[in-house]
Each structure stands twice: as C-alpha cells, then as structure tokens.
Amino acid sequence: MLQFPDIDLTALLPWAIGAAVVAVLIVALVVGIRLARRGRRARAKARERLDELGARLVELDDATEELEIEIGMSNALYDGRPPASLRRARLTAQHTRDDAFAAYSEASADDVHPSAQRREAARLTAGIDKAMAVIRSARAENEAWLDDHTTAGEQVAVARRRLDDLRTRMGDPAALRAELARIADEHEWEDAADADARAHDALDEASSHLTEAEQHADSDVAQARTSLRACETSLARAEHASRLLEETYRLVGNARQAIDDERMAAESAIRAAMGTQKTLDADAAPKLAEAIRVAETALASATELAQRRPVTANERIARLRDRLDVALGDSRTQQQQLRGARSALPGSLNAARSALARAEAVVLDAEVDARVRLDSARRELALARQAHDPIEALEASRRARLDAETAATLARNRKRRR
C-alpha cells in the first residue's frame, strides 16, 4: 500500500494566501483596464475622433456637390460627355460618402466600444482622404484640359447658353407660388415660401458673374474662370430653388388627390380594429378600445383641416395608423396584417416623401448628424419602394419619415443657434 508523506498545511497557508492575492490583483487589473477602455476619458477620445470624422464627411459631401457643378461646367465643352476622370471621381466620391454616412451612424451608437469607434473613425477618415485626393486630381486634370483646348470666351458662351436654358425651364416661379397659395395654406409649403424669390435672385447673381467673366475673358483668364465658377454656383442654387418649388407643388397636389382615399382607408382600418377588439380578452380589449377612440379623434381632426392642409392631414392619418398598428400588436392574423399593410402603404409613402422633401429644403449646410439622418431617410424610402413584402415596405417607409423629420429638426435647431 502506498504511503503518502504528511503535509504541513500550516506551512502551505502563506503560499496559498499569496497566490490568492496575486489572482485578485490580476483580476482587478484586467477589470481596471476594461473599465478604462470604456470609461469617460476613453469615450471622450472616441467622441473627438468621431467629431473629426464628421467634419471630414461634411467636407466630402460639399466637395461631391461642387464636383457636380464642375461636371455641369464641362458637360457642354466636352460635347455632352464630361471627362472620364470627373465621372470616375464623382462615382468614387458618391460611394465613399454614402458608405461613410451609414458607417458613421453605426459607429456613433452608444453601445459601440470606444476602441471600435476610434478604429472605425480612422478607417473611414482614410477612405475620405483617398476620395478627396481623387477629386483634386480629376479637377486638376480637367483644368489642364480646359487650358489646352478651350478659351475663356468659349466657356463664357457655354455658360450663357446654360443660363438661358435654365431661365426658360424655370418659367415663372412666382406663378407657381401663387397657385400654391390658392390651393393650400402656407403651412403646407413654408419651406418653399421664398423659393421663387431665391430662384430669381440666384439667376440675377449668375448673370452678374457671367458679365464679369465676359469682361475679363481676353485680359484676365484666371479672373474669368473664377467668375464662371461663381456663375455656375449661382445657377445650381437657382435650379435647387426651382426644383424645391416644383416638388412642393407636386406633393401638395398629390396630397389633395389622395386625401379622400386615405381617409376611407383609415376608417376601414378602424372598423377592422373594432372587429379585432371583440375577439380579445377582458384585459386587452379596453386598451385597444382606447387606441381606437384616439384614432377616431385624430381622423376627425385630420378630416377637418384636409381642405387647406392636405399634406398635414395625410401625415396625421399615417401617424394614427402607426399608433393603431402598435396597439393591435400580434392580435391580428398574418393575413390581416398583410391587408392592413397594403392599405396603409400608399399613405405612409406619401408622408415619407413629403417629410423628405421638407428635410432636403433645410439640410443644405447642416452639420453631419442632420446629413446622416437625411441619407438614412433616402435609403429607407428607396428600400420601401423596392420591397416586395408590404409589411417590410410599410416599416421602411415609417423609418424614412422619422429619419427625415429628425434631419429637418436637427438642421432647423442649428439655424436657430446661429
């Protein structure tokens, strides 16, 4: 039989205590490192990197818009096809910007680890720097081509044709604004209330810059080119104001045509909810009954103002249907949910479009958060239009509307702080 030596436990006790202390210290050190990586200072550093990324993203977004102006200037000079370098630069800038908008939004979430935020900020900043370098290279290449193959006088003539063409396409913005005032309250088109004046002022500025370019075309080519760029910038502003007015008029007109159908669809949805309420137990039925009462009140309110405020009425109907769907929850069958989604989708899409149009009117020189929300709204609206499942489409349209409303709020708040 094996004999084991006697072990003096009292002699091992100091060693055991020492090992336990070391283990505790190691655990404390690991926990401390993890807390430090997630602590206030770590989050402050990550926020600083994200802010720097946001500023660079705004620069890229602005540079992408300026590139569109550059392409507009070159389009006629290249017989309708802008140089390949500019087209490639535009694609690179657009793809980099769009991807960075989405990635910035994900990285800014509160549950993302600060170290991951810093890594993502570094990665996206590097991509933006590359895109900006591509833009600079393409513009320099285009400038060299223009110097070698065109004169300032030819560029002035092209700009003159663009100015005349835009003036013809715009027609009389004041007449369109007057028609808006006739069919709807100003609340429905307040973001476009001065679009006609802005369009005319921008055209006048473009004409003034073009006159300056003509005066310097033979004597100072550099100054002529500077005036031509200012002319193109003014033309872009005039076109934006004109499009805003036309889009607003279209949205108001569509809302007027759709309001009766949306009201009847909402009435049908409320009746269906009443039928569902009868099948619920004593605990759930009163909650749905209250939701139905609120929906009926909201529908009556929307109907009262629909004559002069059709866009607002349609948006209110879309919201009451959102709340009614939440109240119904899982109490409907899959088939009932599909029918409800098909019924609610047209109005929800219209509400998302009108919210997006208002956001685009104010998110012009906004900070990155508003631009990110606007980009998200565009993505969600595109998803809603492409989705084959009506439930998915409806959910995407609702997200688009909420993102657009948030973008507009962020942009307006910034203007108030100025």
Compute the Cα dihedral for 407, 409, 411, 417 and give only its sign: negative
Q: How many CA atoms lie within 13 A of 114 on its CB side?
A: 17
**Which residues contact residue 295 at a Cβ distance below 8 angstroms, ignoring those fewer than 6 apart?**
266, 269, 270, 273, 320, 321, 323, 324
Res 417: pLDDT: 47
> Of the candidates 347, 375, 358, 362, which has an alpha carbon nearest to the alpha carbon of residue 411?
362
Share of the chain above pLDDT 70, in %: 88
Per-residue pLDDT at 63 exceeds 70? yes
Q: How confident is the model at residue 266 (pLDDT cuts 50, 70, 90)?
A: very high
Say yes or no: 159 and 176 in one domain: yes
Q: Indicate if 373 and 388 belong to the same structural domain.
A: yes
Domain-ending residue, one of 230, 246, 262: 246
Structural domain tally of the chain? 3
Give pTM, 2 decimals: 0.80
Rg (C-alpha) for the chain, rounded Å, is 30
C-alpha distance across the termini of the chain, in Å: 92
Provide the residue range defining the domain that includes 227: 152-246
Residues 260 and 405 in one domain: yes
Distance between CA atoms of 412 and 327, rounded to whole angstroms? Answer: 32
> What are the start-end ranges of the H helices in 329-389?
334-362, 368-386
Do 140 and 162 sit in the same domain of this protein?
A: no
Task: Provide φ and ψ at 286, rounded to 5°.
Answer: -60, -35
**pLDDT greater at residue 333 or residue 291:** 291
Write out pLDDT tens, residues 138-168. 988 888 877 777 788 888 888 898 899 999 9
Q: Are 296 and 317 in contact (CB under 8 A)?
A: no
pLDDT at 229 over 50: yes
User: Of the residues 246, 278, 306, which one is the last residue of a structural domain?
Assistant: 246
Instruction: Provide the token pair at 384.
Output: 């809603």
User: What is the identity of the amino acid at 88?
Assistant: R
- Of 216, 246, 276, which residue sits at a domain end? 246
* Whether the Cβ atoms of residue 64 and residue 97 lie closer than 8 Å to each other: yes
